[in-house]
Structure 1
Amino acid sequence: MEPPMPVNLSVKTVPDDTVQRLRRRAERHHRSLQGELMAILEDAVREPASLSPMDILKEVRGLGLATPSEAASMVREARNGR
C-alpha cells in the first residue's frame, strides 16, 4: 500500500490581525508562518497522553484547584464558620 499523498490546505479571508498574531507567534518560535501553522495543526489533532490519577492530581493542585475531598472540607469549614 502506498503512503498517502500530502494534502494542501487553504484558509481564505483570514483577518489581518490574526495573520499578524500568527506571524509574531511564528517568530517567537523561530519558525516560518507555514511551520507555525503546521505545528498548530499537529498540536490540535494530537491524541492526549494518558495520565495516571496521580498525574491528574498533581496538575489540579498545581492549578490551585480543590480536589473533591478538599472541596468538601472547605464547605464544612465554611458551614461551621457561620
Structure 2
Amino acid sequence: MTIRNLPDELHERLRAQAEANKRSLEAEVRSILIQAVVASSDGGLGHRMRARYGDYLGDDLSVERNHTASQEGVFTGSSPRRK
C-alpha cells in the first residue's frame, strides 16, 4: 500500500508518535488503522462493555440526577493559595 500526498506535518507527527511508541513508522500506521477499523466495526468501548456486562447491568439506562450542591475541594500543601 502506498499513500500519496500525505501532508508533511502529518508525516512528521506520525514519525514522532512511532518513535514515542518504539515502533517503525509502518508499524505505527498499521496499529492506527487496526484500531480505527476495529472501533468502527464493533461499536467501540461502550458496545463491548454492554456485550460483556449487559447481564449484570440490565437494560435500564435511566439515571436520576443528584441535585445536591457539591462541596468545595480542599487542597492541602505548603504553598500559599494564590488569588
Give TM-score, length-normalised by structure 1.
0.54
Partner residue in 1 for 2:23? 31
Write out the 4+ residue segments of structure 1 that deviate beyond 6 Å after TM superposition. none
For residues 6-49 of structure 1, the C-alpha deviation after alignment (integer angstroms, 9 at most, x for no partner) is xxx22211111100000000001100000000000010111335
Structure 2: runs of 5 or more not aligned: 70-83
Q: Larger helix proportion, structure 1 or 2?
A: 1
TM-align CA RMSD = 2.6
Q: Which runs of 5+ in 1 are unaligned?
A: 1-8, 56-66
Distance (whole Å) between structure 1 residues aligned to residue 63 and residue 12 of structure 2:
43
Mapped to 2, the partners of 1:11 and 1:68 lie a distance apart of: 46
Task: Say whether residues 1:69 and 2:64 are aligned partners.
Answer: yes
